Amino acid sequence: MSSRYFIIILVLILQVSVLVSQESAEVDAPSWFLSPAESYSKSQYLFGSGSGITLEQAKKIAMASLATCFATEVSVNQTYMESNTEKIQGHKFENFSTSKIVKEIKTKSNANLQFTETVKTWQSPKTKLIYTLIIMDKIKARQVYMQELEENEKIIDLLMISDDSPLQKFGYLEKAMELSKKSEEILSLLFALSPPGSLLYEDYSSVEKLILDMNKAASDVHLHINVEGDNSAKLDTALKNSLQKIGFSIVEEGEYLLEVQITKAPEKILSTQFFVYYDINITLLLENAEIFNVLTTINGGGKNRDAAQIRAFSSMNRAVPSKFQMELENYLMVKSD
């Protein structure tokens, strides 16, 4: 045999060996990894597979794959909703932005999606790669999310029928708004877990309606502000601006009274700096009955007394409205629980 024919045969043998090696590598992965749908029904499960040199790496890739599958289901349902708006009343669907939901799902996948289970793990004796399969039971997840959603809506309904004082009603609606946003987050996840069009969105609270009700409740809070100890009236103005942004009605005479008493405390001189201190007593009353009271201290420093006072009052005009709003939120939160 000539050397020419020998080289040709050798090349052919090498090419066949490479092809056989590639085919062997391709089928080295288990069947459940290559075709998970053959073992787990798509109607009941979402699944993601991954491989890596460590189990942790394989699981991370599998979870990302599951999240992509999740996001795809969201997009399918979003498309259905957008093309069937006449069948679904009571919601503005821009609140359920596909890109926002997909981002949330992918963020969750970096940590851990609920209702997932690692069902298969295998290491190749040839490549030493680790293969894993993670599934999510859509039916189980849907049942839990639906139960949570219905519980949220029951609480929202109770909060919205409150006939308490205007301020308390505002607090209830604020709590309802918080729950309604949680409901929308749950709905966004249900997009990927339910057949298109199977959810009746008109049965759930609308954030837009809650905003209107909150604005009405806030405007019914007629509040008079009385500040003692500030001749400049700047704190009075700062409080009015802050509370008007919430929506409260600032009046000369109202059932609610916000009293702020400013008392000068002893001054201090430290090195070359002059410091002034003011004790602030903030009280909210309803028809002369105290709702809550809070004390705070404001200070300011400068090269002399005048400079220190300017800084103290500047700080006061920011801190006191913020402090009052924080205490008001705490009060309303406790009362609405």
Q: Report pLDDT digits (tens) over 118-175.
A: 999 999 998 899 999 999 888 888 888 888 888 888 888 888 777 778 888 888 888 8
pLDDT tens digits for range 273-285: 899 999 999 999 9
Model confidence at 113, in pLDDT bands (50, 70, 90)?
low
pLDDT for res 64: 85
Q: What is the architecture, at CATH level 2, of domain 221-336?
A: 2-Layer Sandwich (3.30)
Residues 17-75 have pLDDT tens digits of 434 444 444 557 898 998 888 888 888 888 889 999 999 999 989 988 888 887 777 66
Most confident of 91-95, 115-119, 293-297, 333-337: 293-297
Closest to 258 in 3D by CA, of 295, 232, 292, 230: 292
Closest CA to 256 of 284, 236, 283: 284
d(CA 123, CA 132): 9
Among 255, 253, 282, 277, smallest CA distance to 266 is for: 277
pLDDT of residue 92: 42
Q: Cα angle at 117 between 115 and 118, to 5 degrees?
A: 160
Please report, rounded to a whole number, the percentage of residues in the chain having pLDDT higher than 90: 29
Query: What pLDDT was estimated at residue 248?
Result: 93
Residues 6+ apart with CB under 8 A from 264: 229, 276, 277, 278, 279
Name the more confident of 171 and 1. Answer: 171
Structure tokens at 297: 């201290």
* Average pLDDT of span 238-267: 92
**Amino acid symbol at 10:** L
Query: Per residue in 33-68, is it b (16+ CB within 10 Å) or e — as a string?
Result: beebeeebeeeebbbbbbbbeeeeebbbbbbebbbe
Q: What is the mean pLDDT of the chain?
A: 79
Please name the fold of domain 3-139.
Endonuclease I-creI (3.10.28)
Q: Where are the domains of the chain?
A: 3-139, 140-218, 221-336
Using pLDDT thresholds of 50, 70 and 90, give the confidence band for residue 6. Answer: very low
Rounded-to-integer distance, Cα 238 and Cα 256, Å: 18
123: left (phi over 0), alpha (psi -120 to 50) or beta: beta
